[in-house]
Chains A and B, each alone.
Chain A
């Protein structure tokens, strides 16, 4: 059994799952922020949010697929677990940094809008 192929399969499954779940949460909770950007045009705002979601999926899943090229050759199941954890952790940390950046921007704009 080629450990690398197994690793790629698990990695892509896990990472796509995480990205889709996080994207769904952001989309659902981001609607209200986006709706404040252009008042009185709810459909337009929802459309903006939808295209944001799609671009988020494209960028993140595309980046994950691109990182597959840099994997070392995996020789044992222990190494598989270690390499997988580091790879998944890198992606999740990048996601969290992006996410906090988003929250910061959103709360700043929303505070200005509420005032």
Chain B
């Protein structure tokens, strides 16, 4: 009956990983619009489009990674081993998500700084 325990593990792991990804990207991209507006000098359509594209990429990357590391192997066939394996899987995924979040934030800040640097030599002119 080892199969059933591992399948239970998958049934727990997948919803948790998907929910974590969904929640993190929702918070991140709700708050990133301001940066995008800054980076693209207030041109709202381009900022929104880029934001949406980044969000899609974030989803793809994280769900792909979550599925890639899904395989669970447990030594003995009981709930204790299953819970330990699940803990390490979900914990590892959460840490990975945190690192991705910080990398994304770094990119936002860098983009904002660069946009500011570009503005200083020739002051902002509304294009078109």
Contact = CB atoms under 8 A, between A and B. Distances in A.
Given A76-B3, A77-B7, A81-B7, A99 B60 contact: yes
B52 A25 contact: yes
Interface in A63-110: 76-78, 81-82, 85-86, 88-90, 92-93, 95-96, 99-100, 102-103, 106-107, 110
A95 B63 CA distance: 11
Nearest to B10: A81
B: interface residue count bin: 20 to 34
Interface stretch (A2-10, A26-34, A41-49): A26-34
Scoring A30, A77, A89 by chain B CB atoms within 10 A of each residue's CB, the highest score goes to A89
B97 interface: no
Interface string B34-64: 0000001101011011101110110011011
Contact of A115 (B46, B66, B118): B118
Contacts of A86: 67-68, 70-71
Contact of B127 (A31, A99, A100, A114): A114
Contacts of A29: 48-50, 52-53
Given A92-B63, A96-B57, A103-B50, A114 B41 contact: yes
A24 B127 CA distance: 29
Nearest to A91: B64
A89 to B, nearest CB: 4
B45 A22 contact: no
B67 A103 contact: no
Contact of A77 (B3, B48, B65): B3
A33 B67 contact: no
A76 B10 CA distance: 15
B86 interface: no
Which 8 interchain pairs have the tightest Cβ spacing? A92-B64, A89-B67, A96-B60, A89-B68, A29-B49, A93-B64, A96-B61, A85-B67
